Each structure stands twice: as structure tokens, then as C-alpha cells.
Structure 1
Amino acid sequence: MPLSFLTADGGHDQPSDAAPTARHHAARDSEDHWWRPYRPGPWRVAIASLLLVIASYLLFAGVIVAAAGGLTGAGLSVGTAVLVIAGALRSLRMGVWVSGRGLRQVGLLRTVTVPWGRVGAVRTAQQPVKWLALPRTVQGQALVLQAADGAEPRTLITDHNADFLGRSDAFDLAADVVEDWATRSRG
């Protein structure tokens, strides 16, 4: 079963580190085609896999509790498993997506879409960044979105997040592709 949300281009056979093709730039004409210019990193996939393993144990526990006659406990266990599965799948969707409409940053609990007309600049900057989204910060690179109205800059991706930790070449390529989309779409 193909998992199109795991591929960089929505399920097409393209190498994960390839630059966008004419097909991706043609997708700008389609307002509903969102494309992530990179694949989820190994840390993100490992975390999602661990969450799915935990969910399987919760589901198994729910079956055992239901067989023992505790329907309330079984329902609670199954409900928790469903929430864990939803969180794992959402964590795989997290990241930066681009389309003809604009730039979309998908987080665990919310999604922010910025139309290309409101994008002032997208650039790579050296700055303190969070390590795997934990409170600890380290010096690193970040892809920063500067809004056209002069609002506070928004960090889109960093070289120390779950997609790019230990993969600086992949970060550089993804940052270049997003910067290219911003330059072409604003111009």
C-alpha cells in the first residue's frame, strides 16, 4: 500500500533529494495540490513508529480488558489508542508544504498557511534552534519566513529538527527548494 504522505512529492517515483521538476512548478496552477519538498526524516519516522507500537499495546490491552468484562476500561484503552494513532499520523504530516496558494507550516496541533502575496522573504539564517523540539537550544541553521507586513519572523524548519538532524545536505536542499518556490511565486 503506497503511503503518499511519506514521499516528498505525493507518491510519485522521484528521488527524495531531487529538486522540484517542471511538474511541481506546474502544480502552482492547481490551488489544491500541496507538496512537501522533502521526506520525513528518520527521527520523525522512528517517533511515529514508536507511537504506533504503543497504540498496538493499548489496543491489545483493550481487548484483554473487554474479555475480562471491563467495558469502561476497554473503551478508555481503545480511545487512548485512537488518540495515539492520530498523533502518530499527524506527526508524519508535520513540516513545510508549498503550492500555488502559498506556504503551509503543519504542526502537531495547528496549521498556518501564508499566501505568497504575504511572504516578504524566505531565507536561511544562523541562529539558536531547538534540538528535536526540546527546550535545549543549540547553534544551527533555520529557514525563516519574513512576512511582507513586517511581522515577527517565523521559523519554518531547522537543521536540528526531527526531519534534518544529522542530515545537513537534506536541510540545505529543502531550504533551497522552499526559497526557490518563494522567489518564483512572489515574482
Structure 2
Amino acid sequence: MGSHWVRPYTPGTGRWIVIGWEAAALALLTWASIRQFDLIGHGVRAVACVLAAVWVIGAWRILEHGVYVSPDGVLIRGLVRSRRMRWRDVAGVHLQQKIHKVGRWELQKDLTVLIERHDGATVNTELWAQGVDFHARPKLFRAVYQEIRNRHQSARR
């Protein structure tokens, strides 16, 4: 499958806020672990290195997170796994309105981009209107949705 993947949008500044937040949380966890277990010397270095490695890997995944397109298909990179689909396996690209329920309360109505496969299965993308990339840029969300649809339609021709 195509090796030239392009993310049709620039990541939002919210990603850097998340990465900073995670750095602070892991620094606090490091400090608490060192204090809790009375670590010294090599123990301190080991805990600090392990949690720093976790942060680097997590930060890299957060930065790479998103939807990528190529002439051959679509790549969805999540925090834990990635998924590739050829355009010929995609039946359609749609917007879906999601409602989050907590008990009897409805919290938020959100638009997400959903990919429908020919076998009837649907694949959630990492694109949602109120996410870190599009919260302050709603027009960009619609433009990205249209770009993915256009890529799919041109691949079908």
C-alpha cells in the first residue's frame, strides 16, 4: 500500500498542552514513587528513566495521532494501534453525531468522521469536531472531512 501518507491538517496546539500535562503528571509520579519507596542512587535513575521513556513514547504517539491519506488508502493512527484500509475497501465516509451519556444526562453532541467498509463494518476515525485539533478551528474540521471524502471518491473513479 502507498508509503506516502499525508495528514490533511496540521495538529492543534492542544496536543502540546496534553504532552505538557502528561510530563507534569509523570514527573509527579516519579517524585511520589521515589518518596514512597525511599529510593536512592540507581533506583532513582531507573524510575526516572523508565517514566521518561514512557513519556517520550507517549508524546511521539500523540504527535503522530490522526488520520492520514494516500492515493491508495487511509491510515488511522491511534494512541495504541494503527489501522490501514485501501480505498477500494471503503464504501463511504460519513459524519456521525455522537451523544455522550452519563446516567440520564446528555453531555455533548459531537460530530465525528466515520468510515464505512463494504462489509458493513464501521471504523471510527480519530477526527471529532471538539477534539484537540479542531476545537478552535471548526471550519478546518469540515475541510478535512471533505478532503477525505474527495480522496475516496477520486480513488473510486
Tell me which interval the TM-score lies in, with the shorter structure as reference length: 0.7 to 0.9
1:31 maps to a residue whose letter is G
Quote the Cα distance in structure 2 between the aligned partners of 1:46 and 1:32.
30
Q: 1:137 to 1:154 in 2, by over 3 A?
A: farther
Q: 1:52 to 1:129 in 2, by over 3 A?
A: same
Q: Is the 8 A contact 1:122 1:144 kept in 2?
A: yes
What is aligned with 1:164?
134
What is aligned with 2:84?
113
What is aligned with 2:18?
47
Quote the Cα distance in structure 2 between the aligned partners of 1:122 and 1:129.
22
Quote the Cα distance in structure 1 between the aligned partners of 2:100 and 2:75.
20
Query: Secondary structure at the residue paired with 1:76?
Result: helix
What is aligned with 2:112?
142
Question: RMSD of aligned C-alpha atoms?
Answer: 2.7
Q: Is the 8 A contact 1:51 1:85 kept in 2?
A: no
1:85 to partner: Cα distance: 1.4
Quote the Cα distance in structure 1 between the aligned partners of 2:85 and 2:2.
13
The TM-score with structure 1 as length reference comes to 0.68
What is aligned with 1:34?
5
1:186 to partner: Cα distance: 2.3
1:48 to partner: Cα distance: 1.8
Query: Secondary structure at the residue paired with 1:112?
Result: strand
Candidates 92, 99, 118, aligned match of 1:128: 99
Query: Secondary structure at the residue paired with 1:123?
Result: strand
Which runs of structure 2 are paired with 1:79-118 in the superposition (5 Å)? 79-118=50-89
Candidates 113, 127, 144, aligned match of 1:174: 144
1:117 to partner: Cα distance: 1.2
Structure 2: tracts of 5 or more residues without a match: 32-38
1:79 to partner: Cα distance: 1.2
Q: 1:107 to 1:75 in 2, by over 3 A?
A: same
1:127 to partner: Cα distance: 3.1
The TM-score with structure 2 as length reference comes to 0.80
Query: Secondary structure at the residue paired with 2:8?
Result: coil
Quote the Cα distance in structure 2 between the aligned partners of 1:34 and 1:70.
45
1:185 maps to a residue whose letter is A
Candidates 45, 50, 57, aligned match of 1:74: 45
Q: Is the 8 A contact 2:6 2:68 kept in 1?
A: yes
Q: 1:108 to 1:148 in 2, by over 3 A?
A: same
Query: Deviation above 6 Å: which 4+ runs of structure 1?
Result: none
Instruction: Name the count of aligned residue pairs.
Output: 146
Q: Is the 8 A contact 2:92 2:117 kept in 1?
A: yes
Structure 1: tracts of 5 or more residues without a match: 1-29, 62-67, 131-135
2:62 maps to a residue whose letter is S
Higher relative contact order (CA 8 A, sep 6+): 2
Instruction: Kindly indicate whether residue 125 of structure 2 is the aligned counterpart of residue 185 of structure 1.
Output: no
